[in-house]
């Protein structure tokens, strides 16, 4: 298979390579006849431009990076799916880069990543979306970035989120309407901005329905299944035991369900359990978890699409969108007895 370069196309079509380049990039000032001719040669020779050469000339890599430090595999794959969709539409590549939020080496890690891969932009996923140190660093280096599921909005960046507070409010209200008054809550990881948002929604629902907030019903988790087990233990030991538990994500909710089942609780008859995220596990277990579904793929896709647009034309406007989350009721919640 002979390599087809812009030179072969040019000589074959009888034009200069600059003209070929013009056709490639849909630039104006090419006569229709010439354009047609070149396009035909593209087909005939089955020409594909070399992105590396193009990258070198334009000082771009056509790669955007996605960084994460998230225990939920399913969340990550959903993020990736959305990001990939946007990348493929725009002939970009996606580089995935798991890294440690806590490490003091984070900034230098990211700096090295940017240096060595010459990324055109970065997608920040939770918990990085609201990690000020990092955002400030990127801003100072003028690295384009987009934030997914951030709580704090900034008026000069790209940010696509879903309404965590509202989602938490709705699911809590759902429990209240089923007659629950003692509703335990398991918080997420303190570094995730969603943690506070969901907690806020929980409290708003309580207060709106005149239920007094009880601090003893709140446990600190960190979104991991394991932390859910610990929190569940404390909650199920409470006397009197709450009639419902709302965990900040489905893994922790699944942990509550597991422990409750082990302890011979009947779910949802003895205790209702609700989660958040609509992770696969929510429907893979019995009883299925009532939860909140967020459009993770869609959020990420929009964020990445805007990011790529922004790379192309840096004067582009900021983009701030909040998508709706949706309550999904399954068997794990029921009328209080």
- For DNA, the closer CB: 59 or 140: 59
Q: Please, are residues 65 and 97 in contact by the beta-carbon 8 Å criterion?
A: yes
Site string for a second copy, 215-234 (x = CB under 8 A): ----------x---------
Determine, following the binding rule CB under 8 A, whether residue 116 of this chain makes contact with a second copy.
yes
Determine, following the binding rule CB under 7 A, whether residue 39 of this chain makes contact with DNA.
no
Determine, following the binding rule CB under 8 A, whether residue 264 of this chain makes contact with a second copy.
no
Identify the residue among 25, 26, 48, 264 touching a second copy (CB under 8 A). 48
How many alpha carbons lie under 13 Å from residue 150 in its C-beta half-sphere?
A: 25
Determine, following the binding rule CB under 7 A, whether residue 19 of this chain makes contact with DNA.
yes
Residues in the chain: 337
Determine, following the binding rule CB under 7 A, whether residue 117 of this chain makes contact with DNA.
no
Q: How far is the CB of 73 from a second copy (least distance, A)?
A: 4
Q: Please, are residues 219 and 186 in contact by the beta-carbon 8 Å criterion?
A: yes
Identify the residue among 39, 53, 153, 208 touching DNA (CB under 7 A). 53
- Which residue in 222, 330, 313, 318 sits closest to 272, CA to CA? 330
Q: How far is the CB of 24 from DNA (least distance, A)?
A: 5
Report how far Cα 1 is from the mean position of its chain's Cα atoms. Answer: 41
Identify the residue among 24, 95, 107, 328 touching a second copy (CB under 8 A). 95
Q: Cis peptide before 193, with omega less than 30 degrees from 0?
A: no
Determine, following the binding rule CB under 8 A, whether residue 103 of this chain makes contact with a second copy.
no
d(CA 113, CA 26): 32
- For a second copy, the closer CB: 96 or 327: 96
Residue 117 partner contact from DNA, a second copy, none using kind-dependent CB cut-offs of 5 to 8 Å? a second copy
CB-CB neighbours of 282 under 10 Å: 27
- 227: three-class secondary structure by DSSP: helix
Report how far Cα 225 is from the mean position of its chain's Cα atoms. Answer: 19
The stretch among 16-24, 193-201, 230-238, 251-259 that binds DNA (CB under 7 A) is 16-24
| H-state helical runs in 118-237 | 132-141, 164-177, 193-208, 225-237
Determine, following the binding rule CB under 8 A, whether residue 285 of this chain makes contact with a second copy.
yes
- 114: three-class secondary structure by DSSP: helix
d(CA 47, CA 3): 9
Q: How far is the CB of 19 from DNA (least distance, A)?
A: 3
Q: Give contact residues for a second copy (rule: CB under 8 A).
A: 1, 48, 50-53, 55-56, 61, 63, 73-74, 76-77, 80-81, 84, 91, 93-98, 112, 115-118, 141, 225, 251, 254-255, 257-259, 261-262, 280-281, 283-286
């Amino acid at each position: 298979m002979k390599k087809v370069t812009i030179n072969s196309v040019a000589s074959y079509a009888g034009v200069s390579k600059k003209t070929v380049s013009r056709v490639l990039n849909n630039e104006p000032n090419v006569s229709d006849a010439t354009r047609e001719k070149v396009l035909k040669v593209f087909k005939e020779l089955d020409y594909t431009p070399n992105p590396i050469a193009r990258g070198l000339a334009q000082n771009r890599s056509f790669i955007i990076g996605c960084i994460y430090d998230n225990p939920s595999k399913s969340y990550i794959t959903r993020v990736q799916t959305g990001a990939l969709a946007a990348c493929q539409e725009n002939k970009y590549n996606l580089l995935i880069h798991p890294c440690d939020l806590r490490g003091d080496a984070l900034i230098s890690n990211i700096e090295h990543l940017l240096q060595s891969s010459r990324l055109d932009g970065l997608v920040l996923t939770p918990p990085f979306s609201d990690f000020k140190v990092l955002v400030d660093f990127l801003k100072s280096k003028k690295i384009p970035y987009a934030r997914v599921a951030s709580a704090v909005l900034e008026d000069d960046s790209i940010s696509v989120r879903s309404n965590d507070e509202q989602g938490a409010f709705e699911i809590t209200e759902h429990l209240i309407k089923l007659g629950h008054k003692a509703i335990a809550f398991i918080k997420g990881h303190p570094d995730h901005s969603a943690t506070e948002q969901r907690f806020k929604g929980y409290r708003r629902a309580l207060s709106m329905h005149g239920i007094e907030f009880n601090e003893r019903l709140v446990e600190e988790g960190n979104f991991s299944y394991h932390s859910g087990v610990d929190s569940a233990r404390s909650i199920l030991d409470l006397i009197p035991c709450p009639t419902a538990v709302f965990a900040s994500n489905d893994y922790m909710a699944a942990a509550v369900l597991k422990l409750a089942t082990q302890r011979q609780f009947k779910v949802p008859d003895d205790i209702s359990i609700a989660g958040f995220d609509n992770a696969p596990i929510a429907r893979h277990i019995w009883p299925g978890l009532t939860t909140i579904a967020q459009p993770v793929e869609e959020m990420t896709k929009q964020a990445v699409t805007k990011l790529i647009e922004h790379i192309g034309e840096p004067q582009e406007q900021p983009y701030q969108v909040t998508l709706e989350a949706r309550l999904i009721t399954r068997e794990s919640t029921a009328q209080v007895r």
